[in-house]
Structure 1
Amino acid sequence: MTGQTQRRRAPGEVPRPADPTAPPPFLDLDDLEERARGLLDPAVFDYYAGGAGTETSLAEAPVAWRTWRLRPRVLRGVTATTATTLLGTEVATPVGVAPWAYQSMAHPDGELATARGAAAAGALLCVSTSATHTVEEVAAATGSPAWFQLYAQHSPAHTDDLARRAGDAGYRALVLTVDLPVLGRRHRDLRNDFALPAGLRMANHPAPDDRPPLAANESPGWVLADVGRFAEVSGLPVVVKGVLRGDDAVACVQAGASAVWVSAHGGRQVDLVVPSAHALPEVVDAVRGETAPDGSDVEVYADGGVRTGSDALVALALGARAVFLGRPTAWGLTCGGADGVAGVLTGLTGELAHTMTLCGVASPAEVTPDLVTRYGWTSR
């Protein structure tokens, strides 16, 4: 160079792209969230991003995965692959899409785009009851295995009908979300007086004119007996989502669940709740030796604050069969539609494969508990 002095980069400094507005050349979920914030109505962003109460549980969820440390194996000569099975269904990755509501607020194609993105990544998709497209429409849009998530809502008859429709539409499992007997107090939504934007609909809910009178509209809370009953109604294996205790996990399995899903509902229900990263070992230990209705081992899944491939590998080492992403797929959908969702899933799966290779692990089946050790609270 002539007349100029080239600045030497500090050790570990990532070079800035020529275009500072361009996405980084790696999966940067913080950057993706900020880009999504700029594209969404502020009330919609708060609906997706916010949590219950003081949002302590929301903030702690990602940090909790960092309280574990990996113990790499060396001289294994492996290059990792991520293919696995979930309830017997083959998938390309143990990173799936968690159910989240009202996706057409993020992108005009909503759940249809998310379904296409999940299929492109070879990932399992879990579709929310509170979708803006019907059970059948989303099933027809995806070439990827899908599960349907069910809430107790409106009348028991309508909820049972949704379960039947999920079975008829080809979903592979029914996911009962059981941590929502009442809606969490989400201060951002209360402050914004949040409502579904005009022109969008809750496609799986009855039309207003078809809803029963208010007194008949109140569904009683589910009990353990409903687990087996919904398996019969839908003809599908049942996954119970929202489990944070070992004794609850065992009770769900003994009531007919094929799998349990460790989840704090994205920090949107109970504030100060134990993070999934800390609840997971107790749940895995409790169901060890229990059998699913088909005689197989009980599978355990987790969500809540998984943001990197290292987080996902920690979860697998703690006994999760798979992890599911909520907000990261919302930001991907907002910024890039189906391609954005696929980018998040393939990006995090790539990080997982890379970390597995560095840790001497060839496949998810080879991940064992001795790959992690408990560390301590961290500021990041």
Structure 2
Amino acid sequence: MSPITHIEDLRVLAQRRVPRMFYDYADSGSWTESTYRANEADFQAIKLRQRVAVNMENRSTRTTMVGVDTAMPVALAPTGLTGMQHADGEILAARAAEAFGVPFTLSTMSICSIEDVAAHTKAPLWFQLYVMRDRDFIERLIERAKAARCGALMLTLDLQILGQRHKDIKNGLSAPPKPTLANLINLATKPRWCLGMLGTKRRQFGNIVGHVKGVADMSSLSSWTAQQFDPALNWGDVEWIKNRWGGKLILKGILDPEDARLARDSGADALIVSNHGGRQLDGAPSSISALPAIAEAVGSRIEVWMDGGIRSGQDVLKAVALGARGTLIGRAFLYGLGALGEAGVSKCLELIQKELELTMAFCGHTDIRRVDRGILLPPHGAAPPAGPLPVRAYG
């Protein structure tokens, strides 16, 4: 195997090793996928300001996210079905994140349960919560997160209803997956994945199956989940969850400055500028293009993070320059997991940190906490100003 030098190498390898329905689940967007593509493409339009003859010794990417020390301003995002990219995927990703020194977030729709991941790690994981109509189940989930010593609760606000993802329908992705001839033929070409899944007992939604009345296996799960995402979710529910949880609260799915101000006023500790990886409203702005106006709208009263389209350390640096205190990666670490398991997630983090550190130095900085808009060139090749760029340079 040739050396792995960037995230694209991991993506190509994951595409070869992961069954099509699960690879496509992770690597797709809704409808025309225009927002999914824009999340990556819009980073490329942002140009960096190179500086020379600057002391580049003693470089540091260390920072904090909601008070947690991190090796770099990156956390692993909550991603559903992670344990179908690789057997025991959530446990492996959490262990890699812990060893590297960045936070890991477990999805409500994970394969490994909260208890599974907590038992295999020492660092407190973060738990992502979807609001369901079954409030008793939500209360029990929150209590389980407390019992597992989760360090923060991440409440997703942009999945009250599901955007349509064409690939999932065409691939017959369901719970349980449809054993079509095409899927069976595809599985036959993924022996490494199949052996891994045969060797684990974790093949169901661990946070749900056995914890909900009437949901004892995957066959009964589909009808339950189809009815459970709550279209009536509102800011009153956010307050209820905040009080019920009582710990650090992160609100995920903010794209509009007005919603950002509501998130700030809710008393949450952080908000995440996110369009759900382009998987919900197709035609919504990319996360990086929405970031500057949101950072300006809320000031320093709440930490602003972003996710969507990050595939490199340069992307992380650009997000920080435009006002993000932290970032989250989803597909990037899933590619590593699908490609090489735990070692692949570690490799993903190593690649991002190395590129972040070197690019930061090329831009004249040695401490990620001191990076600002001054490292960016204004659009259209204009001469850079003497000081930091205005907030809306890339708004």
TM-score > 0.5, shorter chain as reference = yes
Identity of aligned residues (%): 34
Task: Find out whether 1:258 has 2:269 as its counterpart.
Answer: yes
| d(CA) in 2 for partners of 1:253, 1:112 | 32
Asked whether the equivalents of residues 161 and 231 of structure 2 are also in contact (C-alpha less than 8 Å), the reply is no
Calculate the aligned-residue CA RMSD, in Å.
2.2
- For residues 208 and 195 of structure 1, do their structure 2 counterparts lie closer, same or farther at Cα, with a shift above 3 Å needed? farther
Task: Find out whether 1:372 has 2:376 as its counterpart.
Answer: yes
Pairs within 5 Å for 1:39-118? 39-79=17-57, 80-118=59-97
Deviates more, 1:169-178 or 1:367-376: 367-376
Aligned-partner residue type, residue 228 of structure 1: E
| d(CA) in 2 for partners of 1:252, 1:208 | 30
Of the three residues 286, 304, 309, the one matched with 2:297 is 286
Gaps of 5+ in 1: 1-21, 292-297
| d(CA) in 2 for partners of 1:134, 1:237 | 21
SS for the counterpart of 1:70 is coil
Match of 1:8 in 2: none
| d(CA) in 2 for partners of 1:299, 1:247 | 16
How far does the alpha carbon of each residue in 1:66-89 deviate from its partner, in whole angstroms, 9 at most, with x for none? 121112344331332111111111
| d(CA) in 2 for partners of 1:197, 1:211 | 16
Asked whether the equivalents of residues 125 and 152 of structure 2 are also in contact (C-alpha less than 8 Å), the reply is yes
Deviates more, 1:200-209 or 1:46-55: 200-209
- For residues 211 and 281 of structure 1, do their structure 2 counterparts lie closer, same or farther at Cα, with a shift above 3 Å needed? farther
Of the three residues 83, 92, 103, the one matched with 1:124 is 103
SS for the counterpart of 1:193 is coil
TM-score by length of 2: 0.83
Instruction: Note the C-alpha offset of 1:341.
Output: 0.5
SS for the counterpart of 2:357 is helix
Gaps of 5+ in 2: 178-201, 216-222, 382-395
Higher helix residue share: 2
Of the three residues 313, 318, 324, the one matched with 1:320 is 324
How far does the alpha carbon of each residue in 1:322-367 deviate from its partner, in whole angstroms, 9 at most, with x for none? 1111111111111111111011012111110111111121212111
Match of 1:304 in 2: 308
- Give the number of aligned pairs: 348
Match of 2:213 in 1: 210
Match of 1:335 in 2: 339
How far does the alpha carbon of each residue in 1:80-104 deviate from its partner, in whole angstroms, 9 at most, with x for none? 2111111111111112211101122
Instruction: Note the C-alpha offset of 1:34.
Output: 1.5
Match of 2:193 in 1: none
| d(CA) in 2 for partners of 1:374, 1:184 | 35
Instruction: Note the C-alpha offset of 1:374.
Output: 4.1
How far does the alpha carbon of each residue in 1:241-276 deviate from its partner, in whole angstroms, 9 at most, with x for none? 000111101111112211110111111111011001
Task: Find out whether 1:36 has 2:39 as its counterpart.
Answer: no
SS for the counterpart of 1:260 is strand
Asked whether the equivalents of residues 264 and 273 of structure 1 are also in contact (C-alpha less than 8 Å), the reply is yes
Pairs within 5 Å for 1:219-230? 219=230, 221-230=232-241
